[in-house]
Amino acid sequence: MNNKKTSRSVASLASKTLQSKNASNTAKKLAGSVLSQTKSSNQTGSTLEGLASSVIASNKYSRETKTLAGSVLSQSNKER
């Protein structure tokens, strides 16, 4: 079980990402996950966990997208 919750600054970034016309689908998927974990005990699913890991390992994503990916990974199931 992971009880971490999204910080206000990352939640704000996620909200802006979802509203952006220029954000990639990947960034929007991560942003949606981040927001779903803001005030709940939801944990990242294995599919999104894999996506977030790929984003962090890649050079093609922005710092903002990597921030979202880091938040998603920090809220993953520690037993996986």
The pLDDT tens digits for 5-51 are: 678 899 999 999 999 999 999 999 999 999 988 876 667 788 899 99
Q: Is the pLDDT of residue 62 over 80?
A: yes
Q: Is the pLDDT of residue 76 over 80?
A: no
Name the nearest CA neighbour of 42 among 12, 74, 13, 66. Answer: 74
Position 11 scores a pLDDT of 92
Position 26 scores a pLDDT of 97
Position 4 scores a pLDDT of 65
Q: Are 64 and 13 in contact (CB under 8 A)?
A: yes
Q: Are 37 and 6 in contact (CB under 8 A)?
A: yes
Position 77 scores a pLDDT of 65
